[in-house]
Structure 1
Amino acid sequence: PMRTPKSLKIAETQARFIAVDWESLGYNITRCHTFNVTICYSYQRAATNQSSRLSLANQSGRASGCLEMDPKAPRHVVGDLPPNTNVSLKMILTNPEGRKESDETIIQTQEDVPGPVPGEFVRATPSEDKITLQWKEPLEPNGVITQYEISYSGVQSFDPSVVLLRPPLLVSLPWNSSVHSFTQLQPGTTYQFQIRASTSKGFGLPSTLNVTTNISAPTLEEYEGSEASLNETASTITVLLKPAQAKGAPVSAYQIVVRELSPHRARREAGVAGECFREPVSFQNAASTGLPFYFAAELPPRNLQEPMAFTVGDNKTYQGFWNAPLAPRKNYNIYFQAVSRVEKESKTQCLKLAFKGATEEPEVVPDPAKQTDQVVKIAGISSAVLVFIVLVLLAFLLLKKRRSYYSYSYYLKLAKKRKDAIGTTRQEMTHMVNSMDRSYAEQNTLHAEEPLSVGFMDTHTFSNRLPNEPLVPTAVLGGPLCSCYTDENHTAAAAENSRLLDIPRYHCEGTESPYQTGQLHPAIRVADLLQHINLMKTSDSYGFKEEYESFFEGQSASWDAAKKEQNRTKNRYGNIIAYDHSRVILQPMEDDPSSDYINANYIDVSGDAASSSIGERGYQRPSHYIATQGPVHETVYDFWRMIWQEQSACIVMVTNLVEVGRATSAPAQRLQSVIMSQILQQGDQVKCYKYWPDDAEVYGDFKVTFVEVEPLAEYVVRTFTLERRGFNEVREVKQFHFTGWPDHGVPYHATGLLSFIRRVKISNPPTAGPIVVHCSAGAGRTGCYIVIDIMLDMAEREGVVDIYNCVKALRSRRINMVQTEEQYIFIHDAILEACLCGETAIPVCEFKAAYYDMIRIDSQSNSSHLKDEFQTLNSVTPQPQPEDCSIALLPRNHEKNRFMDNLPPDRCLPFLITIDGESSNYINAALMDSYRQPAAFIVTQHPLPNTVKDFWRLVYDYGCTSIVMLNEIDLAQVKLNITSTFHKISIFTDTNFSCTIHVS
């Protein structure tokens, strides 16, 4: 070119582009008909994470680029520029002979609306009536920030009485603000905040944040003077309870707390706010730990909608808390609490209701005229007492022979063993044992007019327990069923031994019963279940052993129908047959009166009498289950008759058709069953006849048609249609077959069984008949399933579990339900796992939202739900013990383990089957289930040089076609190891297969 072009002309400036122009370029300037015009620009990039379409960007933060321009175009634009930025422009004129550059022109782009305030930098600090927000300037200010605007409104509240704000309120803040507090908010309410920034061009997009204020404690109404105290007796006090006013969340529960006062403690005025008791403590726990207070009752809000009188010390149980009688010669403060609970937050408001003073017994002045008669009476009473003591001794000997003890005796022994184990002094041990003796023995009390109860139903009369009666049966000696009366003479002696209170003793007189019934086994609060199980498992599960052995073993009712000669072939086992009073009676067939018999029993959970509570508690429906044996060949037709007659829609099968007679464990058992059945056949036992078809089959006048099957790792769901000749009706019946129960013992984990129970529960139509449950005998595993199902519902709806009395109730309906101590312990572990872990399955469509909720950090606990759930998983996963890995720990197998702290349990071992000289059948590997397939994976260590041969034996024996390797290795070393050991690997077979190795 002839000369340098003159400076650029700026035609238009906007926030994100600049339009330029230049002088006319004639031949006298370009000196050639062929030339190019280029506009180059550069600017300093702001500190932002915004991606740009600029062509160049260096580490110093400057951005630059060049644009080819069409000289003939009417408009020349440099675009994609950041707002409010100084841009340097220059023009370059180029022809084949060279180039000339114009002077640099600097122009500033205009401002634009700002970007959003970064949500990750918005912090909220809530309290009950205030939320403080902190934020940072937008990452893309696009100019000078002039102000912030925050709008907020209530979107939802835990308290239905709260009036949500409509429309949103606006707050304008100056440019230099980064924090603001919003006051006079409602507790327990979620507010939506939208914050946005503004420049001279206007407001940018808002950032939205939802924040929930903390809930407040409910407000309790104040009492005037002694208004709260209505009436007193020696062992009770009646108080007035008034409902609380919710504040931010509905009232979850009302609690009555009793605190024993030391003699020198001054009496305080009742009806004023007092100290609150956050952690619930039952009377039993308070007695064993020496705490001066206990929770006498917990009432649901629906029970206190209006002021009502409540008697403290009425000897009843409320939501698992025993309202024990008060000691006449002790002083107490009575507290009333209202609790609101929302998610992980709990707030409590309390006040002291009343003071219960000690009651002094009036001094009795003897009448000399009656002393002679009293001497005679005393002599007679003494003789009667001696006779009574002899009878008690005889009863005790009989009790000892039958291995049946007071239920609190094992707590006594546990206390002694635990004290001996930790080496405490004799005085401490004596004090604890005495305290435990009182706290458990004195629960053996009922009012004289109250009937006996065994929790779910009376073992003999099957009468319903009233909702306000305690879930504790009366203790008995030997076998008589007792009625109770109060002996006030023992109160004075007992006063010296109780740490919390004295209560009247109750003595029993009774009539004969078929077998021993009540012992002291109160319901356990879900919150206390972990502590209870740990206590029972000490000293080699001594508590469970004593408790299980207190169950009556054997026949406890008549079974005349089952013993008839024509029905003998209908029983799989001669000692597990149906009681007459609870058996399922089939509609008899013509000319065959014995055709009404099937080895099956109704399992009631509520008793015979109709009650309004039965409709409210689904798990207390009468005849909710039928427990039966696994059908034999002769009873398949009777089985389908029962399904049709009872209108059952679900069959639960907790056995396999054939189980091997040796102890093989899941999941190894389920994979090896096919392999081992070719080797071990002598010990196989037929547990159940296959009573369902693979396609369609006719059983008498019934046609059963297979519809579909859904195989899963630990259970199979089969769907059938059931038709009967002469009936224009087709019914759907689902069979839930749990295959994860090992041939011997119980499942190692309850997770699969709990998932199985939930699946059955949601699949059973509400209008269907009883759920039919069977294993082989219809007693052991069947009892476990039914007890767990009942207890899960009870825990959810009442907050307590009553496993002991539930098993006892089931045994009154069918012989020996829950057959082993191991099964009894497994029931406790399963319910504990369900209570600790809950339902963890997440629908696929909800997984994204659930995941983000799980990883969200809670501002109060500074932890996420995901972390809490993982910690719970660690707490419920037992650590393998040496006896669990006995095969891996054999001396001959030591060299086959890469790490001695990472050994496979015996129950999961994939034993090597291919014979290779004298080499053992062990490899450090474990079988793992997938969702749908048992033993779908084999997890193993990276082979050692001396186990490469075993590794390929494993691949061959189990037909593995894919190997996934997840570790990095030295390829040269691997090649050396494989080369050095390859000549030792020899598998003699006519079968060839391929295997793909995937390396990650």
Structure 2
Amino acid sequence: MSYSGCAFLEQEPTTSAPNDQSTTTPFKPPVGSLFTSYRLSVVNGSVQVDWSIDSNYDDVVDSLALSFAIIRYGECDRETNPVYSSLPLSNTTSYTLNSLIKWTTYNVRLVITSSQQNISDVHKQVEGEITTPETEPSGFVKSVSEIAKTSSSFTVSWNDPDCKQKGGAFLRYDVVVSGFSQNFSTTDRFKQITGLQTYTDYNVQIAYVNNIGAGPLSPMQSFKTGEGLPAAPTTLMLTPSIRSITVSFSIPSPANGIIIAYDIAYSEAANFIDRLQKPSTSTNVMLADLSPATLYFVKVRARTGAGYGNYSSHQSTVTQEDYPDAPTSLAVTFRNESCLGLSWRAPIVTNGIVSSYLISYQDTTQASQELNTTTGGLIRSTLLCLPNLDDEQSTPTSPPAPKKIRSTATTIVISIDPVILTTGPLTAYVIYVHDLTVGSGKRKRAVGNPPGVETAILLPNEVLTTTFFTIGDEKIYNSIQNNPLVSGHQYDVYLQIRSTLLSVTKSSYSKMVLIPTPSTLAPNPVVAASTDYTGVIIAIIVIIILIIIAIVVICVLYWYNRRRSYAPYAAHTDDKGTYDSMYSHVDDYDPHKYWNTIYSHRESRYIIAGRNLIPPDRSNFDMNGVVESNMNPPITFQQEFHDLPHGRLASWNVALKPRNQRKNRFPHLLPYDHSRVVLREDDNSGDDYINANFIHGYHKQNAYIAAQSPFDEETVLDFWRMINQTNVSVIVMITNIIEDNIVKCTKYWPDQNQGKVTYGNFFLELIDTQEFASYVIRTMKFKSNNTYSTTRVVHIFDFCSWPDHGVPDDPIPLLEMRFKVKEYNSDTPASPLLVHCGTGVGRTGAYIAIDSLLEQYDREGRISISAFVRRLRKDRVQMVRTIKQYIFIYDAIFEAKHAGHTRTGLDLKEKYHLLTRKNPKTKHSYLRDQFECLCNFTRKLHSANCSDAYLLII
């Protein structure tokens, strides 16, 4: 639109009536204009135009016209070609424009027509803009759609109504959701609705609201929340057969989505340690290929698009019994005229509880070949008596006579040879003793029995080979008391064998030659030669045991006295060398002189060396006010380490379970039960065990995870399960894959040429590798194949310069890596830092101690390494294993506080200005003092470290 020939008026302040029903916008005509005033007013929705013309020009005014046009609708863009409407006016100084569009800006102008030629067009017209009052919106919001959803929420977005339909300035949006009594309000063009039911439809309407009121609600649209984990199936019923179980159950309620599969787990153990799983899409499933007569435990879970829900409570049932296999190893153990002794082994597969055995036999001499059967009991041997043979067995032949081996004053040792009978079953061996010195008197004996009294009854299975038996040992043999013999008496010894069949017992016996027992008053020389030396042997053994006990007591006392002398702790095989030998080749290095002296473990340490050479900070404040007691001798670093608790301090019962022992690298370095990392059951495994513990940091619970390095495929998978479930984003690895020709850690990340690798249902892809002098940073994308899982980034800091036996020569590379670890881990401050070495105790404990204690020193200006390591060992066994590692913690903290972080950042200029300031203590700049600090505290090289430089030039 061209404004040539128009008068641009200076707008004066707008006034309005108290009731806000009218607003007035006065304009000041330009100098020389024929108009002396011009005012536009909004009165009750109409625009009133008021003006006045200079009376000196009344005779030159031929006509007057009012023109107006819409130049902008609400917040729309200005009209590029507005269409003006013109109204002729006469004999008036006011005009009201009615029926205008609300919340619209109009351009209103007055134009004078004059025949006077010397008056410019600019002075003949005036114009101004005015906006009509707001009104309620008349249009709907548009394009209502869903942009995100979860199982309990969804997020909708929309676009504003047409700019001509807004009716006024934007105030808010009202969102109406079915099922909610109150509306949701927002000033954004999207809204997340939370607290919803899983997988449920909700109707949504949205209204645009301005200062006047709310516009119409948008057309109703339906949105559904996402799927969630289903509830456990209920009404689990088991119907067993011989080799299968039919499992039926009801659909989970609530299903929380579309059930796409069921997982039926079954096992012979109630803890499902060796479970089998069967997927299904039906609520009736047959578990086949089972063992008969076996107890099975069954549980079921359902799956939606969100994953598997919880298992149902398990039910148990026993499959039906099946026919057993045939017994094996059938053998004839006895045979005579009327009986056969049979033995066999139970079936390898019984398919149930064996209640009886069925013995079948037939007489091969009869023409009918008819089978006759009899049922035996549960024993795996029996005596089969054939009814068509003799009714009574024959008398057995006499057994071999027993032989004398030796005798004492009250005992006689004899040997008994086994007997094989062919006339009937062998029932027992009976030993009779007849005292000839006293005589039998009037005692009667049974017919067929030898003279004397029974002293023992032995069963056939007790005399399978030549057996030595002691008469008179005072023991009981099958209810018969074997009484001691009388010294100096003469005895006959008889051996009787008995054969019992069908309640009929036959027997025979043999007699040993006359044997006199030695007399206590006049011992027989022969008996003396065979005297038992048992008492002498026992006495010798007792004396030897007493000597051994005395030696052990002496060794313990010697060890205790040595221990009280505070010798350097040397209990671990990897602590090669004491503190003195570790630093003996350095002439001037003594870490004790860099720290204050303490006299009690309750005191803290702080750095005293070179404090005047570094700029002040909150950890470098004056410690002169600290008063220390010197009632006790000073405590050295070695004594601090020696006084730490060594060995196991808590229970580790879970790690000792048989199924978990294979996941431990060493049987004495196990995770404590109270702090171990407990894995949740997932699609990869149902086990919850990994050799790792949560470690408390400085003012932060579970700040670290200390773990042993994975060493096989199973522990690698558990390692990534732990990373996924604990939301770990940064890993610190302080070991090489192979050290001293021993695999200390299995490579659990992909190489650059491998691309993507899979561990279980985890996908890993190496996306970046940064190699430094002492460490490598590997960055990977990590994702589970779960539908709702997101891709995460995991960083592995691999420190390669820590020797297997010892510590790094210089802590600066480790401190540089720590700075980057803190930088990378700052994005996820709530996640624990995962640290691991070969065992997860030595180097891992040293790194965690350095990281936490540096943070404490920055805050408090003093630390107690012994107290922190003591607390570490309560969370995991043997953290910081060696004296070298313990002193290295002091070295690293001293180096960090004096050398500080030497990397140059964007604040180089500010740092330089700080260092060039004058140190009030030394009267030199801090930059000069920093160089002096470098000279004073750099450890001197020993000639052994540069021996090649001393070689003679030939």
- TM-score, normalized by the shorter chain, greater than 0.5: no
Flag the structure with larger Rg. 2
TM-score tier, shorter chain, comes to: 0.3 to 0.5
TM norm structure 1 = 0.33
More helix by share: 1
TM norm structure 2 = 0.34
